[in-house]
Amino acid sequence: MRTTIRGTVVAGAVAAVVACGVAVSLATAGGDPSPERSASGLPAPDVRARPDQSPPRDRIAAGRVALSAYFTSRSVRQPKGDGAVAYEWSLLDTTTGRYRKTDWAWLDVAPGMKTAAVLERGLPADRIGLLNPATHKVERWIEVDRGVGGVRFSPDGKRLVATAYGRDPDALGPEPSRTGFYVVDVASGRADFTELPPRKADRGSSARGGRQDFLWSRDSTLVWEPWANETGKVFYDVAGKEVPAPEQEARLGAPGALLSPDKKLVTGNFAGDDGRIVSEVLDASDGRRVALVPGQQLLAWADDDSLIAWRCDPERCDPGKGEFRNQLVLVGLDGKSVTPLSGFRKADLHYGGRWTPVFSRR
């Protein structure tokens, strides 16, 4: 079933959300000192590093991307005694260059970092806010007649996919409640709903409960959800019809694989052995390993030649035991240049203040 509604403009103009914002060089904005230097001593232009901050208070950025937000999570008790996971988000204020705690239940930042989509507490929410990170004020509300629990911008920034749920998707329980998704045109506020409940497993049972958000394909034309198949994804067109995986998506393999800006390389898996803490980078055309770079998990491409990664403390890192005291680093494809970007997270996987970064193209 498909329903079309119109977004309601509560305050501000469309152009104010889509086009406003001041473009500045992150290498000099906010009174930052001269460009940071990498471990090799070579200049690392356009890098804003905060190696003494965890979680960060001031802007972190490198190349084409910035840390636009981060979140922590904690367990909470609901009125009827059930448990739930509550996310606590900090969003970059693009005017001051500092991260500000928010009270939003869920958010995502658009490419260009001029708009963030936000959902109010008490999921599922009955409206989607479009917020200006320069002011931290919502400038438009898009109302929906089916509650939504998650929002994601398309890679081109023109649309949102908002996943609809019958109850809080972060409640701790086995019953799935996803009802479908909206595709929202950001400029006009038009929201088209497609009914698509949880996918059935091979034996006929539904996927387990909890958050089952849809995400965008790399070309912004399809949506997908994780699934246990060869590509790790099931794709749908925006009307909810299942379609074959696009050739490039199928070729890249793992759902979390990240394609370089020039589309020639793709991130691979952790490849440490003999105590080394390294991950692989592959040729996107044939899957051949082309580089090993420091780090346990590759998170974002800063440019065609460098990535942002989590790396554990080299002096206290034991991959055999699992090491969670790690920091954000900028690493080069040469496998040698390393620039710390953040301080170390506490070495406790279940620590309530453990923060998770969100990167956006700037």
pLDDT digits over 298-310, tens only? 999 999 999 999 9
pLDDT band (50, 70, 90) for residue 63: very high
Residue 75 has pLDDT above 90, yes or no: no
317 assigned to some structural domain = yes
**Do 18 and 145 share a domain, yes or no?**
yes
Who wins on pLDDT, 59 or 249? Answer: 59
57 assigned to some structural domain = yes
Q: Of 226, 254, 282, which residue is a domain's last?
A: 254
**Do 44 and 72 share a domain, yes or no?**
yes
> Is there a contact between 284 and 263 (Cβ–Cβ < 8 Å)?
yes
State the Cα–Cα distance between residues 33 and 102, nearest whole angstrom.
28
Here the tokens at position 20 are 């406003």
pLDDT digits over 108-129, tens only? 999 999 999 999 999 999 999 9
Structural domains in the chain (count): 2
Who wins on pLDDT, 220 or 205? Answer: 220
28 assigned to some structural domain = no
Pairing of strands 65-77, 356-361: antiparallel
**Do 202 and 317 share a domain, yes or no?**
no
**Do 114 and 16 share a domain, yes or no?**
yes
The residues facing 107 across adjacent strands are 118
31 assigned to some structural domain = no
Residue 2 has pLDDT above 90, yes or no: no
Residue 32 to residues 4, 58, 59, 63, 212, Cα–Cα distance (Å): 47, 10, 10, 16, 40
Contacts of 315 by beta carbon, 8 Å cutoff, 6+ apart: none
**Do 310 and 333 share a domain, yes or no?**
yes
Who wins on pLDDT, 269 or 69? Answer: 69
Mean pLDDT to the nearest integer, 143-150: 97
29 assigned to some structural domain = no
30 assigned to some structural domain = no
Residue 8 has pLDDT above 50, yes or no: no
For residue 60, the number of C-alpha atoms closer than 13 Å in the C-beta half-sphere is 31
Q: Of 228, 254, 280, which residue is a domain's last?
A: 254
**Do 106 and 232 share a domain, yes or no?**
yes
> Is there a contact between 212 and 198 (Cβ–Cβ < 8 Å)?
yes
**Do 236 and 188 share a domain, yes or no?**
yes
Residue 79: domain span: 37-86+259-362
Residue 71 has pLDDT above 50, yes or no: yes
Report for 54-68, 248-262, 338-352: range of highest mean pLDDT:
54-68
**Do 82 and 149 share a domain, yes or no?**
no
**Do 301 and 263 share a domain, yes or no?**
yes
pLDDT band (50, 70, 90) for residue 45: low
DSSP string, 8-40: ---SS-HHHHHH------TTTGGG--SPPB-TT
| 243 sits in which H/E element | strand 242-243
